[in-house]
């Protein structure tokens, strides 16, 4: 065939050979990367769904056990309030058959059990006089002694119930914590090394007795809590000296935690500033360090102008909260015990108790009025022993009671106003009550949620801040096919896909892929986090048909909790929801180990040298936060921020065509709401 065209045309066509192939190769590479990216996105989404399902299941399970625990504690309150306590032989045997006391001998002449009606009916005044008109003092002493024995018998029964309630406040939440781990694992979550490491550290502190000071009681309502508490925590972890390898799955058992909750308050330090240095307030706020690393000049505006010379953090004390809760520190119920009659009176006045009186039982107040037929005083032979932990324990010899009566004033001291001639036993009862973590939402908060966030009003029974909250967090690692695409995660970054193919015909598509990879590479792809919060819910239906929040009946715990529900994390917040998780070991170790070293150190380098000596294995945990302190201490860093804030961001021309700054970056910061939040950080206690 004869070739046509000039030689120049032929040469030009020959120079274009292969260009389509290059474009095809570039397109093929981008398609392959996009396919891998799509697979990675799907992997990450599946991982997030699995993690969220796991923590949701854990939170609901933990809250469910909190619900059961509160209801059982409430039932035991009703055992007192409805008289079951003094009419059920089960409780009587607990006192009369105790081999470690002389109770059986002391209470031998009392009925077993004693019903409300059988409690002493004190004789009328006339019955204490002999036919000759003289006072029968011995009969008076005998009656008073019988009354005293009945009171102490009730005290002993009440103590049994209080001990049961105290046990429930430890056991119930820990069972819930263990059940939550299993629920999370059943939903696909696996062992989390960071949460387990923290948990082991907490166990070691508890076991060595280092968490609580010498003033911490060794008994809570006669319940020796520490040994069984540590044992149950150990069981939840499924860890012992024989299972040092926490990844061991022998016999199908997975050791360690899958989900974490907030650290116990005894493990989080309280920083107390002893100087006037304003900067001390920022040491305990995690956001302070993040702003420095992010070089967020808007937020750091005011801080940049403070004096960071020398020991700028000032003088402060770092203490741990040794104020023992008297219950499980993990998923606490936030109850307390009241030894006054107030909770009963308020609950009865609110008509919250009458509906529980059934089976022929009466409320205490229906049998015993508040009047006392005869005043007397009593004393015991008391033996006091000093224990090794510094706590004093008092023991009573019950068979040696001295009754003091004033026979000469019997005529005047006998109370004719007492209609039932029975002694009021209500002051001898203890009540499990809600503490001040159970509160109503403030009107402003409730209105904000109902008008701006929720589609309607709060459901009945949900509009209160619950002290019993189940918060869980999970962190799971995942593997992506695309990985980092050869790009280092720290330091100088190698050219990415978008830069390599920037000038090609597929440059726009390459930049899109590069941006997606960058988002996957920001740490969220290979480390998925999820958190969830749930709480038990219920309300009291009174005798007259009204509804009360659980804590509105004299704060007495009653068996009113009927459901559990997931709630937004930001909705309820109490003193143990501090935004810290067991997973956040970097922050926990920094607060508990490095920050205390700053106090008394002349410089940051001095504190670091102490850390090298005392905590060499944890230096990697400290580095992010210590680096932030070093950055903010550098005058050049602060000056760079000041220069940027003071530099113009907008210009305008005057009549002569000369440009003048009309707005600086600082003005933009405040116009957008930045530059002020730094002033509202949480200060030290």
If you search the block for the tokens 């109770």, which residue do you land on? Answer: 103
Same domain, 224 and 352: yes
| Dist CA 331 CA 621 (whole Å) | 26
Q: pLDDT of 537-553, one tens digit each?
A: 999 988 888 899 999 98
Number of alpha carbons in the 13 Å side-chain half-sphere of residue 7: 0
Same domain, 108 and 254: yes
Residue 291 lies in a domain: yes
Q: Which of 547, 562, 583 is the last residue of a domain?
A: 583
| Dist CA 533 CA 471 (whole Å) | 4
pLDDT of 10 reads 54
A 10 A CB-CB count for 552 gives 21
Same domain, 146 and 187: yes
Q: Could you give the number of structural domains in the chain?
A: 2
Same domain, 566 and 670: no
Residue 610 lies in a domain: yes
Same domain, 227 and 305: no
Residue 13 lies in a domain: no
Same domain, 212 and 103: yes
- Mutual orientation of helices 193-208 and 226-237 as an angle, nearest 10°? 160
Enumerate the H helices of 376-506 as residue ranges.
Answer: 410-413, 443-448, 497-500
Same domain, 539 and 619: no
- Closest residue by Cα to residue 96 from 114, 69, 83: 114
Question: Could you tell me which residues come within 8 angstroms of residue 214 by beta carbon, excluding any fewer than 6 positions away?
Answer: 389, 390, 391
| Dist CA 289 CA 293 (whole Å) | 6
Residues of the chain below pLDDT 50: 210, 239-253, 388, 396-397, 484-498, 500-501, 504-506, 516-517, 519-525, 575, 676-685
Q: Which of 554, 583, 612 is the last residue of a domain?
A: 583
Residue 366 lies in a domain: no
If you search the block for the tokens 């224990």, which residue do you land on? Answer: 387
Beta bridge partners of 439: 465
| Dist CA 274 CA 263 (whole Å) | 26
pLDDT of 183 reads 92
Residue 502 lies in a domain: no
Same domain, 291 and 338: no
Number of alpha carbons in the 13 Å side-chain half-sphere of residue 86: 30
Range of the domain at 243: 21-274+331-356+428-483+525-583
Same domain, 128 and 54: yes
Torsion of CA 236, 241, 246, 250, to 10 degrees: -90
552 Ramachandran zone, left/alpha/beta (phi>0; psi -120 to 50): alpha
What is the rounded radius of gyration, in angstroms, for the C-alpha atoms of the chain? 35
Q: Which of 549, 564, 583 is the last residue of a domain?
A: 583
| Dist CA 549 CA 561 (whole Å) | 10
Same domain, 50 and 155: yes
Instruction: Please state the φ and ψ torsions of residue 460, each to the nearest 5 degrees.
Output: -55, 135
Q: pLDDT of 424-462, one tens digit each?
A: 889 999 999 999 999 988 888 888 888 888 888 888 778
Residue 72 lies in a domain: yes
Same domain, 577 and 591: no
pLDDT of 64 reads 96
Residue 54 lies in a domain: yes
Residue 110 lies in a domain: yes
Same domain, 564 and 595: no
For residue 230, give both structure tokens: 């540590």
């Amino acid at each position: 065939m004869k070739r046509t065209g000039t030689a120049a045309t032929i040469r030009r066509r020959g120079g274009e050979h292969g260009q389509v192939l290059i474009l095809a190769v570039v397109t093929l590479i981008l398609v392959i990367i996009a396919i891998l990216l799509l697979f990675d996105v799907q992997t990450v989404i599946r991982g997030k769904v699995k993690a969220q399902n796991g923590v949701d299941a854990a939170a609901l399970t933990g809250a469910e056990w909190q619900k059961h625990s509160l209801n059982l504690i409430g039932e035991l309150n009703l055992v007192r309030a409805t008289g079951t306590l003094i009419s059920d032989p089960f409780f009587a045997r607990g006192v009369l058959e105790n081999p470690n006391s002389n109770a059986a001998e002391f209470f031998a002449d009392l009925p077993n059990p004693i019903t409300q009606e059988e409690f002493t009916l004190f004789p009328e005044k006339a019955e204490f006089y002999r036919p000759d008109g003289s006072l029968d003092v011995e009969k008076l002493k005998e009656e008073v002694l019988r009354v005293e024995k009945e009171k102490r018998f009730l005290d002993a029964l009440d103590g049994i119930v209080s001990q049961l309630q105290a046990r429930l406040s430890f056991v119930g939440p820990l069972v819930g914590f263990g059940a939550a781990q299993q629920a999370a694992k059943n939903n696909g979550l696996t062992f989390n090394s960071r949460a387990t490491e923290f948990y082991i550290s907490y166990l070691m502190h508890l076991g060595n007795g280092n968490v609580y000071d010498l003033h911490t009681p060794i008994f809570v309502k006669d319940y020796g809590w520490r040994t069984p508490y540590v044992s149950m925590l150990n069981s939840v972890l499924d860890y012992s000296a024989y299972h040092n390898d926490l990844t061991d799955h022998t016999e199908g058992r997975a050791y360690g935690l899958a989900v974490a909750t907030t650290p116990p308050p005894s493990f989080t330090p309280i920083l107390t500033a002893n100087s006037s240095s304003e900067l001390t307030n920022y040491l305990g706020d995690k956001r302070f360090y993040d702003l420095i690393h992010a070089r967020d000049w808007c937020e750091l505006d005011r801080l940049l102008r403070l004096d960071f010379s020398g020991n700028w953090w000032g003088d402060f004390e770092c203490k741990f909260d040794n104020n023992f809760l008297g219950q499980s520190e993990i998923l606490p119920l936030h109850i307390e015990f009241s030894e006054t009659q107030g909770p009963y009176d308020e609950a009865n006045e609110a008509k919250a108790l009458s509906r529980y009186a059934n089976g022929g039982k009466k409320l205490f107040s229906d049998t015993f009025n508040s009047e006392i037929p005869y005043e007397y005083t009593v004393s015991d032979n008391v033996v006091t022993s000093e224990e090794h932990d510094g706590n004093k324990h008092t023991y009573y010899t019950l068979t040696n009671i001295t009754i003091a009566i004033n026979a000469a004033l019997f005529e005047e001291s006998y109370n004719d106003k007492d209609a039932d001639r029975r002694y009021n036993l209500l002051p001898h009862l203890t009540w499990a009550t809600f503490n001040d973590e159970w509160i109503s939402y403030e009107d402003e908060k409730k209105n904000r949620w109902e008008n701006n966030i929720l589609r309607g009003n709060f459901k009945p029974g949900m509009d209160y801040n619950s002290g019993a909250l189940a918060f869980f967090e999970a962190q799971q690692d995942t593997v992506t096919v695309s990985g980092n695409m050869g790009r280092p995660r720290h330091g100088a970054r190698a050219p990415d896909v978008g830069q390599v193919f920037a000038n090609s015909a597929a440059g726009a598509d390459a930049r899109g892929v590069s941006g997606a990879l960058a988002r996957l590479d920001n740490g969220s792809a290979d480390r998925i986090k999820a958190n969830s919060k749930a709480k038990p819910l219920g309300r009291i239906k009174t005798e007259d048909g009204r509804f009360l929040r659980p804590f509105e009946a004299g704060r007495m715990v009653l068996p009113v909790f009927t459901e559990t529900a997931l709630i937004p994390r930001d909705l309820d917040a109490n003193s143990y929801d501090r935004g810290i998780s067991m997973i956040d070991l970097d922050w926990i170790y920094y607060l508990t180990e490095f920050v205390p070293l700053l106090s008394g150190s002349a410089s940051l380098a001095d504190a670091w040298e102490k850390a090298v000596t005392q905590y060499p294995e944890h230096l990697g945990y400290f580095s992010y936060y210590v680096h932030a302190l070093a950055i903010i201490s550098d005058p050049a860093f602060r000056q760079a921020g000041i220069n940027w804030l003071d530099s113009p961001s907008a210009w305008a021309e005057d009549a002569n065509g000369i440009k003048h700054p009309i707005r600086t970056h600082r003005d933009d910061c405040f116009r957008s709401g930045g530059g002020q939040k730094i002033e509202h950080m949480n200060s030290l206690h």
